[in-house]
Structure 1
Amino acid sequence: MKLSHSALLLLFGVQLVTASQNRLQKMIRSLPQAKQVTQSCTTAIDRFKAALPDYKTIVQSSSNFWSDGQFPADGSSIQWTGTKYSSNGLISYAGNKWERLNNLCPECTLFGTSDYLNDITQGGLGDCYYLAGISAVAEINSRFEKVFVNPQVNWAGLYAFNVYIRGIPHVMVVDDSIPAGQYGKKPVFAGLGGDNSIWGPLLEKAWAKANTNYEQIIGGQPFEAFSFLASVPNNNFKIASLNATSIWTKVSQADGKNWIMSISTPSAPNGDKDKCKFNLACAHAYSLLAVSTVYNADRTQSINLFKIRNPWRKDADYSGSYADGSSLWLSAGADGKTYAQQVGLVIADDGVFYMTSEEVLQSFDDLNIGQYTENFVTSWYDKRDDQVANENTPAIYKFTLNEPTPMYIRSTLYSKRMYPISCKPDQANIKLILEDAFGKQLNYYWSNEQSYSYINLVDAPLNVGTYTLKFYPQWTAVDVKDYGIVIDAPRDIVITDVNGQASRLTAHDFSNKELKAIVAQAPKPEKPKLPDISQTGAAYDLTGNLDQDILKIRYSSSLPITNQRKGTYLTGSSSTLIGGVRYGLAMFMGTLREDITYTSTLTVTTKPGHIFKFSPGNDKCTVTNNGDDEIKCTCLIKPDTYPKECLLVVITKEGEGYSNSYSASAKSS
């Protein structure tokens, strides 16, 4: 499937499989095959039509994990390998182990310990557009918290969300099992928040479930996240058509209204592996969080700044004039405050950075603004399986206003993304006409389904009266003929069909914010212990009894162990003169990290006649004689290897000395 940059923004780290067909098919046959999910063009749509589980009872009464049968923790939720519905874009992840978030991070909470700004970290999935979009939604707490039905951590690991499908409110549920790499040790897609929050990977999973699987959410536009979580009308602007004054006016006005904004860099041959202006990743989406104006000391000069966030949660490479560490931030400004103080600058590699209007114009090509209005509510008519309406015969709906009312009016279909690869090559076209009580046309639009068009009557409110909406769909052969007639306005508006009937088959749930488990959590299997390096045991001198020595020296204060790079490298050694005639040597290597492959080599050179014992087994050692014996032992610790340590004890021959060395390396899993 060929998709243009306007439809796709590709993520750093997406792996393209270029193996031969035979090798690819061999890999496909080796992957776990899904047994629970029916794979069809309407699988994602059918999920939203199915009855919800009794999530309230499950959350309250489950002492152990609940599993979502609609979106199982297996390769079918990554991609539909070996079918016409997959381009094998995530085949390298299809065999991943899955792990529950509550197991990966028992101390984590949904929102973490600080604000939402530093919670999103993109992983190995090309969904920068979505993560930038949900970060932008999360900028305003009141807007963001509406999404979460049950924000309390629960033993079932079940989380329900208020989302919009076809612009219509729905509740959807997911469990907290996520792809966690070859060894099941850490999220491979959206990561945990810097403050131990888990909403990022959960909302990413919800988006994948809503659109069939994770492969289906590679590449897109941030306004898709705006629509999914907030159902807002969106405006897209080509930055090439703007100048410093017009972009500042649009963005500052939108920021003043707390609208949702994102901004994207141009495409490039290698996607976001290529660097654009100021070392920004190309083909990449960013949250546009806010604007600020800083003033010099006498307020005779001002500089307009845009506050932007990278969903990679890093900005150290950014080289714009107002990068962290720039001397410009220290400029003396108004009211005795530096420019840094005026904007509340935080110096951290957190993905947040500032740009001038001129730098924005040089760096980006797309601006999205979602017109979220805090006091507006969504009204809708949910039409299912309309076999009558077409491009010549309209479906007719009416609504009545008792007072002048500003509003947005839309007709909404299932997004093309909800149909798996190869299912929907073409787009539907839709026309929506607004008429007054006398049949006079007041407004209309005609567009394809991906234009997200709408009628904007916010600045020209409709007067008191009864109005008619005529919906003309030009369906494709594969469309599911469901749609929504949606009005966003300050008050609820009843929309009826020609029979005078309303249709609201689903709704959001705002009544279960305090929902939590009322039972104790079931005991979990004991986790393997990491190395204890406190070394509080009694002092111990090696004796030459290898079996005894390797046990008693391990926790002895005589073997101090150092911790380097936050537990990545643990090292320790101890030597003893035994009976005044020979040496005893103990060497310790290990790691506290469970997400790396750790390799170390311990080498001791001494004369033949020595004895030694290596805790993983002497078969992990080689002895090479070049006059002296070189004992070389390899300590290989994979993420699923326990214990995460190796101990070598060597006793030399009487009258002989030794030399020793070690090396260590670590590789992310």
Structure 2
Amino acid sequence: MKLSKTFLLIACGVALISASQSRLRNLIKFLPQSQQVTKSCTTAIDRSKAALPDYKKIVTSYANFWNDTGFPADGSSIQWTGTKYTQNELSAYVGNKWERLNNLCADCTLFGSADYLNDIVQGDLGDCYFLAGISAVSEINTRFEKIFVNPNINWAGLYAFNVFIRGIPQVMLVDDSIPAGKYGKKAVFAGIGSDKSIWGPLLEKAWAKTNANYERIVGGNAVETFGFFANIPGQQITLAKLSKEALWTKVTQADSKNWIMALGTPSSKNGDSDTCKFNLACSHQYSLLSVKPLLTSDRTQINLFQIRNPWRTDKDFSGSFKDGSAKWLTPGAGGKTFGQQAGLVVADDGVFYMTIDEVTQAFEGIDIGEYNDNFVTSWYDKRNDQVANENTPAVYKFTLTEATPMYIRVMTYPSRMYPKTCINDQALFKLVLQDGSGKEVQTIYYYEYSNLYMSLVDTPLASGTYTLKFYPKWITGQVKDYGIIINAAKDIVITDSQGKTSRLSNHDLSSKQLKPNVKQAPKPAKPKLPDITQTGAAYELTGNLDQDIAKIRNSKSLSISNQDDGLYLSGQKSTLIGGNRYGLAIFVGTLSDEYTYKGIVTVVTKPGHTFKFTAGNDKCTVKNKSSTKEDTIECTCLVKPDTYPKECLLVLLTKVGSGYQNSASYSASG
């Protein structure tokens, strides 16, 4: 009899969080948390069982944002500060402003314009295992799209997802408000895809809501993601226990079945800020997308793994088949180069290739989710079982009319649904399968979170009536809810000892076309970024500072240059006035609302000048240098992300007979 325990926790991002705290602690003020959320050991569990609002009505009839009061846009959804249920890992983010995704990106769509694999952007949260798992799930469109109840953008900002908790189908709702930094300008956790897709931060939020808050989803294993979205049994395998031949065979077979896979690098003291073999991040999880066997000109096979980093970058990868390697140009079988055989795309997109030797050197473990596209979930939802224990079983039955391959599991709430300090041990379970005569077919003993299951796929159960006996040895404080789960090619009715079924929730697969039936309510006007088209009439400076500062700004006479995609704007215009003095206009600014911008304008000229600065003359200093008898006028344009306008203009008139020198410098931070 086999006893199995959980292993291979990938605590990816833990050190990143620590580093982010030190970087951002001075930027983000601590704010008191909302008192709306009751904080207890069963908060997340109670939330998962609560009745849903009428989300179809909300999506179709709301012209403005719907707010999810069960998971509010405040610090209580980041971590439970001030309670025994937190380790304060995300204190630097508690005071974040939250912003609606529809405000951050009004023209975004759920899936964006490109393939799903390029939509994941990991932020400051250490949940690479989750994002790598999502990326692996999304490799097959039909598998991935089942998750989304209402994939159309709606004005309520309400999105529903088909998920599995305790292996049981249910719908999870979130609104589209996400933590967006000190100024509410940019996602700090999972970000918007480069193709303007928003499903990444929404699914991350659904996972955080399921598990109480964002802090509770730091560190984990990809198999958790496989179970949450696809309800599939998973294996966690230590690579050191497999020969290279056995590893290649297992992965090749899994890939041919479209199973879901992820690889994890070894843990490290500083988490994923440390670098492991081939410049891969330590304590980090990567999606294993596929295998790519290459054939040399003499038809020798080279076995490659196609892998993806959820950080969406691979420029530092130093393996033998990195982008730009001459190996890709090697002629192989049929005259095709290795790059042509693999369908290589050279881009810093997070996708890279490794030989089997490199994989065994760099990675510690592999997660495999046994996905079968034609399998469905059958279940019995048992709540608050006060009878079954290690000596007295809960009894369930099901009948088959023909030989049927299947998986059988008993699933409880995952440990992360309990806050810190609530559950520090694992229950011990025994599950017995008997045929109609009472003969034992299979028995498994296992610790609760080891993900052990009965696999009857290769040896299908014959037709007949079967009995499942479940013996739980619960631990103190545990909620005694569980699901009796069967995954098979057809729905199977599971009954209890009284002959009753129990299916208290289900997925929604009929709302794909759900859309608003009303127009979107007008949004408050957004502050405008600088207009640098300069389409106004030509204008010559006159020395009338009030007139000059108003008329030169948009004039085509003041050409404004754009550097670093709008991060730094600058322009200058000078005019000889009356033949004996100069008028000067200097413009600085930024098109970015994500950084704190600082521009410094300096003019050196003789005393007797006059000037006007749009940010206020009090933002300028005038210092006289006695040796040259010149003034240095220095004006500072400081623009924070939430400060508008994001520009400053200095106009100056020199003293009669005086020239000038000027300069400008710029910086951005945040």
- 1:268 counterpart = 2:268: yes
CA distance in 2, matches of 1:536, 1:4: 65
Q: 1:318 to 1:124 in 2, by over 3 A?
A: same
CA distance in 1, matches of 2:87, 2:473: 28
CA distance in 2, matches of 1:615, 1:337: 64
- Contact 2:191/2:201 (<8 A) preserved: yes
- Contact 2:9/2:219 (<8 A) preserved: no
3-state DSSP class of the match of 2:391?
A: coil
Structure 2-normalised TM-score?
0.97
What do the CA deviations read for 1:290-323 (whole angstroms, capped 9, x no partner)?
A: 1111223x34222111111111111111111111
Q: CA deviation at 1:34?
A: 1.2
- 1:564 counterpart = 2:563: yes
Match of 1:10 in 2: 13
Letter in 2 for 1:52: L
CA distance in 1, matches of 2:19, 2:631: 48
What do the CA deviations read for 1:49-89 (whole angstroms, capped 9, x no partner)?
A: 11011000000000000000100001100011111111111
Match of 2:3 in 1: none
Match of 1:628 in 2: 630
Q: CA deviation at 1:538?
A: 1.1
- Contact 1:11/1:284 (<8 A) preserved: no
Letter in 1 for 2:465: T
3-state DSSP class of the match of 1:192?
A: coil
3-state DSSP class of the match of 1:229?
A: helix
Letter in 1 for 2:378: S
CA distance in 2, matches of 1:30, 1:571: 36
For residues 332-481 of structure 1, the aligned pairs below 5 Å read 332-481=331-480
CA distance in 1, matches of 2:41, 2:29: 23
3-state DSSP class of the match of 1:288?
A: strand
Letter in 2 for 1:354: Y
3-state DSSP class of the match of 1:459?
A: strand
CA distance in 2, matches of 1:35, 1:192: 30
CA distance in 2, matches of 1:658, 1:74: 53
Q: CA deviation at 1:333?
A: 2.6
Q: CA deviation at 1:6?
A: 2.7
Match of 2:659 in 1: 657
3-state DSSP class of the match of 1:200?
A: helix
3-state DSSP class of the match of 2:561?
A: strand
Q: 1:342 to 1:28 in 2, by over 3 A?
A: closer
- Contact 1:582/1:656 (<8 A) preserved: yes
- Contact 2:21/2:92 (<8 A) preserved: no
Deviates more, 1:334-343 or 1:308-317: 334-343
CA distance in 2, matches of 1:609, 1:91: 53
Match of 2:541 in 1: 542
Q: CA deviation at 1:252?
A: 1.0
Could you say what the CA RMSD is over the residues aligned between the two structures, in angstroms? 1.7
Letter in 1 for 2:637: C
CA distance in 2, matches of 1:329, 1:401: 52
Structure 1-normalised TM-score?
0.97
3-state DSSP class of the match of 2:496?
A: coil
What do the CA deviations read for 1:577-615 (whole angstroms, capped 9, x no partner)?
A: 111111111111111111111111111111111111111
- Contact 2:174/2:206 (<8 A) preserved: yes
CA distance in 2, matches of 1:586, 1:18: 42
Q: CA deviation at 1:18?
A: 8.9
3-state DSSP class of the match of 2:126?
A: coil
Q: 1:4 to 1:563 in 2, by over 3 A?
A: farther
Letter in 2 for 1:642: Y
Q: CA deviation at 1:28?
A: 12
Q: CA deviation at 1:451?
A: 0.1
What do the CA deviations read for 1:102-153 (whole angstroms, capped 9, x no partner)?
A: 0000000000001101100110111111111111111110000000000000
Q: CA deviation at 1:567?
A: 1.0
Q: 1:29 to 1:363 in 2, by over 3 A?
A: closer
Tell me the matched-pair count. 660
What do the CA deviations read for 1:244-269 (whole angstroms, capped 9, x no partner)?
A: 22211111110110000000100111
- Contact 1:5/1:267 (<8 A) preserved: no
CA distance in 2, matches of 1:29, 1:617: 28
Match of 1:92 in 2: 92
Deviates more, 1:140-149 or 1:9-18: 9-18
CA distance in 1, matches of 2:27, 2:189: 21
Deviates more, 1:628-637 or 1:324-333: 324-333
Match of 2:611 in 1: 612
Letter in 1 for 2:250: K
Q: 1:18 to 1:639 in 2, by over 3 A?
A: closer
Letter in 1 for 2:245: T
Q: CA deviation at 1:660?
A: 0.8
3-state DSSP class of the match of 1:300?
A: coil
Q: CA deviation at 1:12?
A: 5.7
- Contact 2:393/2:470 (<8 A) preserved: yes
3-state DSSP class of the match of 1:13?
A: helix
- Contact 1:32/1:74 (<8 A) preserved: no
CA distance in 2, matches of 1:450, 1:10: 22
What do the CA deviations read for 1:614-643 (whole angstroms, capped 9, x no partner)?
A: 111111111111121111111111100101
For residues 584-603 of structure 1, the aligned pairs below 5 Å read 584-603=583-602
CA distance in 1, matches of 2:572, 2:445: 76
- Contact 1:11/1:219 (<8 A) preserved: yes
Match of 2:481 in 1: 482
Match of 1:33 in 2: 33
For residues 72-221 of structure 1, the aligned pairs below 5 Å read 72-221=72-221
Q: CA deviation at 1:239?
A: 1.0
3-state DSSP class of the match of 1:430?
A: strand
CA distance in 2, matches of 1:550, 1:556: 11
3-state DSSP class of the match of 1:227?
A: helix
Q: CA deviation at 1:444?
A: 1.5
Deviates more, 1:57-66 or 1:571-580: 571-580
What do the CA deviations read for 1:531-564 (whole angstroms, capped 9, x no partner)?
A: 1000111111111111111111101111111111
- Contact 1:11/1:124 (<8 A) preserved: no
- Contact 1:12/1:124 (<8 A) preserved: no
3-state DSSP class of the match of 2:109?
A: coil
CA distance in 2, matches of 1:18, 1:201: 21
- 1:327 counterpart = 2:329: no
3-state DSSP class of the match of 1:287?
A: strand
CA distance in 1, matches of 2:134, 2:29: 36
3-state DSSP class of the match of 1:460?
A: strand
CA distance in 2, matches of 1:16, 1:38: 30
CA distance in 1, matches of 2:30, 2:101: 27
Match of 1:495 in 2: 494
CA distance in 2, matches of 1:113, 1:10: 29
- Contact 1:408/1:487 (<8 A) preserved: yes
- Contact 1:15/1:92 (<8 A) preserved: no
CA distance in 1, matches of 2:27, 2:184: 20
Q: 1:492 to 1:452 in 2, by over 3 A?
A: same
CA distance in 2, matches of 1:15, 1:46: 31
Letter in 1 for 2:656: E
- Contact 2:10/2:264 (<8 A) preserved: no
Gaps of 5+ in 2: 1-5
